[in-house]
Structure 1
Amino acid sequence: MNRKTLVLSAVIGLLAPVLAGCGGSDGGSDGADAIVVGTTDQVIATKDAQAPLDPAFTYDTATWNLIRNTIQSLMHVPRGGGAPVPEAASKCEFTDRQNESYRCTLRSGLKFSNGDPVTAADAKFSIERLVNIKDPNGASGLMTNIDTIDTNGDSEIVFHLKTPDATFPYKLSTPVAGLLNPKTYSANKLRTGFEVDGSGPYTFKAEVSGDVMTKAIFTRNPNYKGDLKLQNDKVEVKTFTDANVMGKALDSGDIDMMTRAMTPEQIKSLVENPKEGIALTEIPGLEIRYLGFDTAAPSVKEKAVRQAMAYVIDRGDLVTKVYGAMAEPLYSLIPATIATHTNSFFNKYGEPDRAKAAQLLEDAGISTPVKLTMNYTTDHYGAATAKEFETLKAQLNDSGLFDITVKGEEWKSFRPNQTKGDYAVYGMGWFPDFPDPDNYIAPFLDKDNFLNTPYANPTLRNELIPDSRREADRSAATNTFAQIQDIVAEDVPVLPLWQGKQYVASRDDIAGVEWAVNSSAELLLWELHRGTSKAS
């Protein structure tokens, strides 16, 4: 076959333009063999993280991608983005003008993979379980606005919210709202190990070496009823510790596709020197990277220190040296491709300015150089992360205003340590739970946020965030989100660095690749199949 590089220029959800497409036939795979997907995402069970695949515990892209293909949610974001549509439900809607009461009716004949019927009581159990367990590592904060949950018979469930929330349908599309079987999930205890089951499109089996999952095997669930159209019967997700080894496996045909995380060098090579039989697909990305701060830590407690870092860091230089065409500078928590974005950090700090940073520190009575350790994870966001932090270190130290040390740790220890507040400054990435500006604000700044940050701004939490959620027309909340972004730029509880693009490489006999990873980095395995596309 001819060499080819496929570039998909589109944006999802609240982006413009929106991808258009309709579901394909439920025809299954053209071949009996499994489609094999490679990834460098690691799923590990440790002493501090014994339940890596429990929806009440886990909150990262790697594990959510496994759960999403196994555990069914009431809603899902359709192919091409846009407003959520029913998945396990046959119908969902707000029943009041204030967006405070949300009613769903389950599909008829819905079953878990073991054949047990799925009822409204199971949906109630699943979400109440998440909120009651309230694990600090998890995403229970997405559901804490629920006041009460009522059921009416086996098929109807009603969520009564504490305050209006137009984003609630999106939250019901996430794995934290997945439907669990009370026979296999305890109401008040996490499910340890690597077992997952639900009523989703696939059943799941893990191959494990020690405490590390090496392969995830997804097989079509014969009991599945929902809105998704499966294009294959079996997919295997194989884990690699090195992106270059993963690339060689693709070249040799040992895997059919590789996703997160290809290196900048691999992508550049495939763009400039396409390989026979390999397709490179660019997919719109909503990923952001940022520095987080423990604002209670003595070294960064003074706002002037964080603001001085904002003056010194050169995002353009960082992107050019480390990521090239894979990224672009970001001056807000909300990416430039999401409606309501404003360049609040650029508006306040402009181009890098050492003199202004020095004056700011002097006026605050802070001695220089300010000594800090910046922590990052070595194995969660790709091999380029180490170079990124060396570049940031050089920028800050070259100013003479900072004395920076960088320290890398594996994700299995990095994330628990970050949650416990062990790091004054740390690097993190974020793919949204759903493509709405709220999901770039609340997870960092609202009560029960996933960073577990001590930063608590009452204006943000008690006024602006609730106000933004009242608007069903999200563009009507633009002014509110602008105020939020300006406060973040002033207080710098987090410091946005860049937003990225996504690339997927695949054998060119694999179809559906452009739909199999969406802008939120969700892995939608049901879209993949061999041969030409069946979708219409």
Structure 2
Amino acid sequence: MNRKTLALSAAVGLLIPALAACGGSDSGSKGGGAIVVGTTDRFAATKDQPAPLDPAYTYDTNAWNLLRQTIQTLMTQPKGEGTPVPEAAQSCSFSDNGSERYVCKLREGLRFANGDDVTAADVKYSIERSLHINADTGVASLLNTIDTIETQGDREVIFHLKTADATFPYKLSTPVAGIVNPKDYPENKLREGFDVDGSGPYTFKAEVKDNVIAGITYVKNPLYKGSLKVNNNEVDMRVFKDSDSMGAAIDKGNIDVMTRTMTPAQIQDLDAGRDKNVDLVEMSGLEIRYLGFNTDAPRVKSKAVRQAIAQLINRGELVSKVYGTEAEPLYSLVPATITGHSNSFFNKYGNPSAAKAKDLLTKAGIATPVKLTLHYTTDHYGTATKQEFEVLQKQLNDSGLFDASVQGHPWDQFRPAEKNGQYDVYGMGWFPDFPDADNFLAPFLDEHNFLGSPYSNTEIEHTLIPDSRREADRLAAAKSLTRIQDIVADDVPVLPLWQGKQYVAARDDITGVAYAVNSSSVLQLWELRHGVSG
């Protein structure tokens, strides 16, 4: 049996960064029963983030993939490539030539898991709730082209947009547009804690210890009506403290599927056939990693400092030393496989050069070495992140132009501090909300961006982003998209580093693994089942 499988039909997909897991038997799912999934991801409710699973609040791929199993959306992204298809909706389409009026008709007989009917009024309530709450995560910005929402009867919803938005069907497939029951989700207040209720394929129950999720059980929702075929009755998720303990669990058969985060060494071992009972599925990745800058912070406020960092970073060396064949250098926020990609950073800076970086700083009158701290999260993107930042630190310091240190923080501390502007330079990752260049640009550069960045460019916000969204043919948007990427390379409010592949490991009696994620890193647990792999 091949130890590694390339997931072709989901090839542009990537495994989500994802889940918190659940209790259950230590015997995995031998003999049938629940499919047991492992992860090292962590979910906590804190004073700064009291509502980590409210769709009006969370803007994190990990949390989104918990919600997608329970909260239904009008549209859904398919398990392979392609445009969104109806889910809670029976049909959705633009009703004008200008992409400014979008009409959806709900399926008949939709019900929440508690038995309440799902109506057009509930859809309107849910989306308006996200807009009105306007959480500081920036997630409501995905819906910012909506002007008004009207309903006709119990099954028709009409969206009137402020401006043309060819990407709007994609946005209706994201959890911020999820349909919630007004009984469970107050209109002007976030739902705190870890309760999730909806009309999706599963019900959700979390085991919580000390305000942290210790496990999740998903049980098939008997009232679910939608486009998804649910191939199992229960999925249990288990959280592990680290990748090694998760790897030991799949070796012993205590879990069936291993998701994030596997270390590069684990991936190499599985690829080499270390365990004959475990298959490794490789998926082309849309995940990107980048450095963000607080452009108001004194030490990086000068564009010359940010440009000098861009001129020094050796992406090839970084990828080779830390990730090997599991990543590749990235010279734009837009991944190389997405329509509209441009190698803007390479075009501007070329190969790394200390001499060119020194010239940039000298011309700007910047005294060297520039003292910086590079901040990263210790428990959100995998254990290799620490090594990655040590390589970045060495590259900067070896030039003699910077005196850089590194500092790691747990995610539940890191993310609030980053949003509050406490870090001058910080490392983040991005998994797309949908596979379009707009979603690798607007969330970082539009008004109310999710980073909370003070950087603002009027041309990008008021001309280029709107112009690109008018083009239903995304190739026709390339001129505007390229211009955005060139401005980013010049101003460097963010600095792209690499684009990654994604992997999932599963015991060989689990099928559907190649479809368990789609092109936008959406976890699709309903695709998994017990069986005999080929």
**Shorter-chain TM-score tier:** over 0.9
| 1:396-445 deviation per Cα after TM superposition (whole angstroms, max 9, x unaligned) | 00000001011110000100111111111100000000001100000000
Q: Secondary structure at the match of 2:265?
A: helix
Match of 1:5 in 2: 4
Match of 1:346 in 2: 346
Cα distance change, pair 462–54 in 1 and its aligned pair in 2 (3 A): same
Does the CA contact (< 8 Å) of 1:3 and 1:274 recur in 2? no
| 1:167-189 deviation per Cα after TM superposition (whole angstroms, max 9, x unaligned) | 00000000110000000000011
What is the distance in 2 between the residues matched to 1:268 and 1:404?
31
Does the CA contact (< 8 Å) of 1:12 and 1:435 recur in 2? no
Structure 1 position 254, deviation (Å):
0.7
What is the distance in 1 between the residues matched to 2:109 and 2:346?
54
Match of 1:46 in 2: 46
- The residue identity in structure 1 corresponding to 2:66 is L
Matches within 5 A, 1:260-275: 260-275=260-275
Cα distance change, pair 13–500 in 1 and its aligned pair in 2 (3 A): closer
Does the CA contact (< 8 Å) of 1:374 and 1:404 recur in 2? yes
Structure 1 position 32, deviation (Å):
4.7
Match of 1:333 in 2: 333
Q: How many residues align?
A: 520
Q: Is residue 82 of structure 2 the alignment partner of residue 72 of structure 1?
A: no
CA RMSD, 1 decimal: 1.6
Q: Secondary structure at the match of 1:441?
A: helix
Structure 1 position 521, deviation (Å):
2.2
What is the distance in 2 between the residues matched to 1:30 and 1:257?
12
Moved more, 440-449 or 132-141: 132-141
| 1:348-406 deviation per Cα after TM superposition (whole angstroms, max 9, x unaligned) | 00000110000110000000001111111000000000000000000000000001011
What is the distance in 2 between the residues matched to 1:175 and 1:310?
34
Match of 1:194 in 2: 194
Match of 1:145 in 2: 145
Match of 1:303 in 2: 303
Q: Secondary structure at the match of 2:385?
A: helix
Percent identity between matched residues is: 62
Q: Is residue 527 of structure 2 the alignment partner of residue 520 of structure 1?
A: no
What is the distance in 2 between the residues matched to 1:494 and 1:41?
25
Runs of 4+ in 1 over 4 A off after TM superposition: 9-15, 29-32
- The residue identity in structure 2 corresponding to 1:371 is K
Structure 1 position 9, deviation (Å):
4.4
- The residue identity in structure 2 corresponding to 1:165 is D
Q: Is residue 268 of structure 2 the alignment partner of residue 259 of structure 1?
A: no
What is the distance in 2 between the residues matched to 1:30 and 1:224?
27
- The residue identity in structure 2 corresponding to 1:174 is T
Q: Is residue 243 of structure 2 the alignment partner of residue 243 of structure 1?
A: yes
What is the distance in 2 between the residues matched to 1:360 and 1:62?
39
Structure 1 position 518, deviation (Å):
2.2
Match of 2:17 in 1: none
What is the distance in 1 between the residues matched to 2:30 and 2:116?
30
Match of 2:24 in 1: none
Cα distance change, pair 260–13 in 1 and its aligned pair in 2 (3 A): closer
Structure 1 position 498, deviation (Å):
0.1
What is the distance in 2 between the residues matched to 1:363 and 1:87?
56
What is the distance in 2 between the residues matched to 1:399 and 1:330?
22
What is the distance in 1 between the residues matched to 2:78 and 2:532?
22
| 1:278-304 deviation per Cα after TM superposition (whole angstroms, max 9, x unaligned) | 000001210000000010111110000
Matches within 5 A, 1:80-479: 80-479=80-479
Structure 1 position 12, deviation (Å):
5.3
Structure 1 position 272, deviation (Å):
2.2
| 1:487-534 deviation per Cα after TM superposition (whole angstroms, max 9, x unaligned) | 110110100000000011110000000000223222100000010479
Structure 1 position 340, deviation (Å):
1.1
Does the CA contact (< 8 Å) of 2:79 and 2:519 recur in 1? no
What is the distance in 1 between the residues matched to 2:96 and 2:244?
53
Does the CA contact (< 8 Å) of 1:446 and 1:461 recur in 2? yes
- The residue identity in structure 1 corresponding to 2:175 is P
What is the distance in 1 between the residues matched to 2:372 and 2:232?
51
| 1:72-119 deviation per Cα after TM superposition (whole angstroms, max 9, x unaligned) | 000001121211110000010001111011010000000000000000
Q: Secondary structure at the match of 2:309?
A: helix
Q: Secondary structure at the match of 1:287?
A: strand
What is the distance in 1 between the residues matched to 2:409 and 2:204?
29
Cα distance change, pair 32–9 in 1 and its aligned pair in 2 (3 A): closer
Does the CA contact (< 8 Å) of 2:3 and 2:270 recur in 1? no
- The residue identity in structure 1 corresponding to 2:393 is K
Q: Secondary structure at the match of 2:285?
A: coil
Does the CA contact (< 8 Å) of 2:467 and 2:480 recur in 1? yes
Structure 1 position 33, deviation (Å):
1.1
Structure 1 position 40, deviation (Å):
1.1
Structure 1 position 211, deviation (Å):
1.1
Does the CA contact (< 8 Å) of 2:194 and 2:206 recur in 1? yes
Structure 1 position 14, deviation (Å):
11
Structure 1 position 11, deviation (Å):
5.8
TM-score (norm 1): 0.95
Structure 1 position 145, deviation (Å):
1.3
What is the distance in 1 between the residues matched to 2:252 and 2:339?
42
What is the distance in 2 between the residues matched to 1:5 and 1:148?
49
Q: Secondary structure at the match of 1:125?
A: helix
| 1:50-93 deviation per Cα after TM superposition (whole angstroms, max 9, x unaligned) | 11110111111111111000000000011212111100000100
Q: Is residue 502 of structure 2 the alignment partner of residue 502 of structure 1?
A: yes
Q: Which runs of 5+ in 1 are unaligned?
A: 16-28
